[in-house]
Structure 1
Amino acid sequence: MATDGDFLLRYKAVSNKLKKRFLRKPNVAEASEQFGQLAKELKQQDCLQYAGFCNLAMARCEQTLFNAPGEAMALTEAARLFLQEEKEAQRLRCPGFEEHLQAAINCFSFAIKVYIELNQPVMAASLCLELGNALKDMNKLGEAMVYFQRAAELQTQVPIECLLSLGYVASCKILAGAFLDVIVKCEVSRVLLLMLLQPPPQKLLPEHAQTLEKYDWESFDSHSHVNYLPEEVFLLLQSVVMACQENDVESLKVLQVELWPLLTAEQNHLLHLVLQEMISPSGQGI
């Protein structure tokens, strides 16, 4: 297994060959070949991130040599390596900022751009689809839609493939809508349950406190924290939280009427229980 030191020493040794020297041109082709060889060795040792960096260096060499096809291939290989590294990190639940995923997206994007400049829209579209499917598998539906849509735009000369790509866009939109509906239902039910239970501050879990903070009237631009909620629902929920905190039964009765058509049967039952608890408190809490 290669160590950081081994990799850096070999990487620097190849990079040094690219430095301009007096009366001597750097051998870019040789450096590109050596970066490629180092990338293969690192890939075999499962050092995917380092192999990705070597392929990026190889792509820069191919760009210097005006070898666009070679540049695109090196960028694509780097993208796949970074993507594989990100998937492994997610599988192991390693903390991070998805830097490998961002590197993969950047490499794919550059490779797509090169293929477009080479007037090879089919190759560019295939990379858009590859990246779109990877993002979809990671449940990044919004980002996936962008690349599926881009693939469709590049496939105007092949109508069947274009329709398939548009179908992927539609699938992402449907899935995104379904997930959003679930998130909205959970958020509304969570707020109503907290209003029903009214746990004392000392027993309020941090995540529950964070939920209630989002509906604080004094919080600046509160709706931005729950922008997946329709504005009308958010404002009414915010009013419910305030009415409960102020023990304002009459206001809550008015809000119950306004919220009734916007809630599920279960949520309306919860709101009814909240109102009944305010009218005749049982004195129970968590």
Structure 2
Amino acid sequence: MAAEGDFLLRYRTVSNKLKKRFLRKPNVAEASEQFGQLAKELKQQDCPQYAAFCNLAMARCEQTLFNAPGEALSLTEAARLFMEAERETQQLRSPGFEEHLQAAVNCYSFAVKVYIEVNQPVMAASLCLELGNALKEMNKPSEAAVYFQRAAELQVQVPIECLLSLGCVATCKILTRDFDAALSIFTEMQFLIQERALQVPGTSTPVGSFLDVLARCEISRVLLLMLLQPPPQKLLPEHAQTLEKYDWESDSHCQVNFLQENVFLLLQSVVMACQEKDIDSLKSLQTELWPLLSPEQNQLLHLLVLERVCPSGQGF
């Protein structure tokens, strides 16, 4: 309580210096510096929420001084401190209304807005990603997806970064069991790679990180299509074309040369096992594919096996 009282007294003292007085202009720069010093002291004393309020006051001062970079930096620091305070509250399992989290989200959003206004979309996107990752860590994938999507929109001029952000959106959709949305996002990512990716000269094969992202999209899309099992009349043309490549009677590995041959053949077998409703083969294929897939893809495969074992959905 003593620390809180001291903080409030010093905060008010600095704030009073900003009040307009007759024939005297307030020294905003000095007030901003003093708020910053108070914020550092409070941060060292493990009082992140109070330090965050001081950074907010700094941001208002920098706004008055028309210093957009300074305003954005102060808002970002306030956001991180509010987020730290929220994590501490959650770790202590203290009752609350997530007020620190809401304050953090607001500060991040204002900082993003400032960076957009000064034409710094890269900085704005990085803050969206930072907030998205923080929300995902707090088991809030639905909220996180919004900021990952915003990051992707801001990174439209940088294809690989845009793809990675969209991949985060897809992950969040999978975590919330919105498999239709995840499938749409992975399909959008594949179209983006076809349009924007660097390619091997004379071919349509992407290079570098684009190839890794394309492989992730292809495997995830096949597994999601098997999990969703859309009826033929509702199967979109792009999804039908994907499944045609895995028809056992067609020699289609040349069309998916970005996958290792053993992965392609195992996926082809998964498609056939699902079509034939061969549960035993599907379980065996799961064992073979397990070391070749990412944790997220293995989770999809696991859900696929459960759905085939318990068609009523009890496996979920």
Aligned partner letter, 1:70: G
In the alignment, is the contact (CA less than 8 A) between 1:82 and 1:101 conserved in 2? yes
RMSD: 2.0
The residue that corresponds to 2:115 in the other structure is: 115
The residue that corresponds to 1:263 in the other structure is: 312
Q: Which has the larger radius of gyration?
A: 1
How far does residue 263 in structure 1 lie from its aligned partner after superposition? Answer: 3.1
Structure 1: 5+ residue stretches without partners = 180-260, 268-286
Aligned partner letter, 2:142: G
Matches within 5 A, 1:1-286: 3-177=3-177, 263-264=312-313
Structure 2: 5+ residue stretches without partners = 180-309
Aligned partner letter, 2:148: F
CA distance in 1, matches of 2:44, 2:313: 54
CA distance in 2, matches of 1:266, 1:163: 32
Per-residue CA shift, 1:11-60, capped at 9, x if unaligned? 00000100011110000000000000000000000011100000000000
Q: 1:110 to 1:265 in 2, by over 3 A?
A: closer
How far does residue 147 in structure 1 lie from its aligned partner after superposition? Answer: 0.1
Report the TM-score when normalising by structure 1. Answer: 0.63
Q: 1:26 to 1:265 in 2, by over 3 A?
A: closer
In the alignment, is the contact (CA less than 8 A) between 1:48 and 1:81 conserved in 2? yes
Aligned partner letter, 1:50: Y
Per-residue CA shift, 1:128-178, capped at 9, x if unaligned? 000000000011111100000000000011100000000000011011108
Count of paired positions: 186
How far does residue 110 in structure 1 lie from its aligned partner after superposition? Answer: 0.1
CA distance in 1, matches of 2:38, 2:95: 28
Higher relative contact order (CA 8 A, sep 6+): 1
Q: 1:151 to 1:265 in 2, by over 3 A?
A: closer
Identity %: 81
Report the TM-score when normalising by structure 2. Answer: 0.57
